[in-house]
Amino acid sequence: MAKSINFVFLILALLAFAPLCLCHVNTFGGYLYPQFYDRSCPQAQQIVNSVVSKAVAREARMAASLVRLHFHDCFVKGCDASILLDSASGIISEKGSKPNKNSIRGLEVIDEIKSELEKQCPHTVSCADIMALAARDSTVLAGGPSWVVPLGRRDSKGASLSGSNNNIPAPNNTFQTILTKFKLQGLDIVDLVALSGSHTIGNARCVSFRQRLYNQSGNSKPDPTLDQSYAATLRTRCPKFGGDQNLSFLDLVSPTKFDNSYFKNLLSFKGLLSSDQILVTKNQVSFELVKKYAESNEVFFEQFAKSMVKMGNISPLTGFKGEIRSNCRKINA
């Protein structure tokens, strides 16, 4: 009697969990691994590297733009190349979101890599993996650490404009809001501080930090946690009205070199974005981490590499989910 009840229970349990398991292909070996293309496209990584190298040689800033592209992809439905889709029937492009509009760059570089890969290994390498590799290569080219990139992501058949607007932190978000947005992606405060270190390269537009220069808290005063002579310099290129798209370096000391000067800047109140400076002014744990990375390039590099792999693992599509797009800008017909 007890046995037959157990048996019935087992069957019920199987019935209850079977559909769950079937739709979670990830549960059955759907993980990412570095050798994913070793047989199907052994030259994949070399192709990515060669196009990225040319692009960064043409324009140093491109390294920064490609790192950011991977971040803005991963925070919206996972690292699934949703950011690359143009608007089409049933798709509203993420490119028009608040954090992306007039801001994301590097799309043509991804196109160039994709078209080269389609020539040499048709329908094989995903756009999502291209972005993960391009982010790693860009970091290395700018003088930063290298890491082995787990591969095997597939591309989404849709985009999420609301996800792009809501999940990606804004530069004037509070520390708590930013940390919460990271935690929703499975990232912690260590990842937040280390990954913010990518602001050691690249630029920001006047609109992204103007509030700090003129009216930080609605009292018509600049942000008191911003070095006042640095603020004065920034105001010359970012007036109260106009010049919205004017650029400033995120790291004033070594704007195209991937190093730990970003963290040193924060300690002297020369972070460009409010979201940068609050890492030292609003939370003791993040402050300690900033000091640690400011003291040692090596310690920063090691954590940055780890956190990039972790970010790259956010909800990938694997197995039979998604597809390998032949054009990164649109889903396959």
Q: Is 288 annotated as a binding residue?
A: no
Q: How far apart are CA 315 and CA 321, in angstroms?
A: 11
Footprint of ligand HEM (CB under 6 A): 61, 64-65, 67-68, 71, 103, 105, 169-171, 178, 192, 195-196, 198-199, 201-205, 208, 250, 273, 275
29 part of the interface to ligand NAG, by CB under 6 A: no
Q: Which two tokens stand for residue 326?
A: 């032949």
CB 193 within 8 A of CB 289: yes
State yes or no: 42 annotated in a binding site: no
C-alpha distances out from residue 308 to 67, 109, 198, Å: 10, 20, 10
Is 72 a residue of the active site?
A: yes
Min dist. Cβ of residue 214 to ligand HEM (A): 17
Task: Verify binding: residue 90, ligand NAG, rule CB under 6 A.
Answer: no
CA pair distance 286, 327, nearest whole angstrom: 40
| Residue 248 in contact with ligand NAG, rule: CB under 6 A | no
* Nearer residue to ligand NAG within complex by CB, 214 or 287: 214
124 in contact with ligand NAG (CB under 6 A): no
Q: Is residue 169 annotated as involved in ligand binding?
A: yes
Does the annotation place 108 within a ligand binding site?
Answer: no
In this structure, what token pair is assigned to residue 217? 């808290």
Please check if 251 is assigned to a binding site.
yes
Instruction: Give the x-and-dash track for 36-75 against ligand NAG (CB under 6 A).
Output: ----------------------------------------
* Strand, helix or coil for residue 301: helix
Out of ligand NAG, ligand HEM, none, which partner does residue 237 contact, by CB within 5 to 8 A per kind?
A: ligand NAG
Q: Quick one: what does residue 72 bind among ligand NAG, ligand HEM, none, with the CB cut-off 5 to 8 Å set by partner type?
A: none
From the list 139, 299, 251, 39, the residue with the least C-alpha distance to 289 is 299
What's the gap between Cα 146 and its chain centre?
Answer: 16
Alpha-carbon gap, residue 310 to 214, rounded angstroms? 37
Q: Under rule CB under 6 A, which residues in 160-219 are in contact with ligand NAG? A: 170, 172, 215, 218
Closest CB to ligand NAG: residue number: 243
> According to the binding rule CB under 6 A, does residue 315 interact with ligand NAG?
no
Which two structure tokens, joined as six digits, stand for 85? 């889709």
**Residue 19 contact among ligand HEM, ligand NAG, none, beta carbon within 5 to 8 Å by kind:** none
Residue 43 corresponds to which amino acid?
Q
Nearest to 276 by CA among 169, 187, 183: 169
Q: Coil, helix or strand for 247?
A: strand
In 7-16, which positions are buried (b, 16+ CB within 10 angstroms) versus exposed (e)?
Answer: eeeeeeeeee
Does 225 interact with ligand NAG (rule: CB under 6 A)?
A: no
Instruction: Report CA-CA distances (Å) from 170 to 116, 181, 268.
Output: 35, 10, 23
Q: State the binding partner of 201 from ligand HEM, ligand NAG, none, CB within 5 to 8 A by kind.
A: ligand HEM
Residues contributing to the site for ligand NAG (CB under 6 A): 170, 172, 215, 218, 220, 237, 239, 242-243, 246
Would you list which residues are annotated within the binding site for Ca(2+)?
73, 76, 78, 80, 82, 94, 200, 251, 259
> Which residue numbers are catalytic?
72
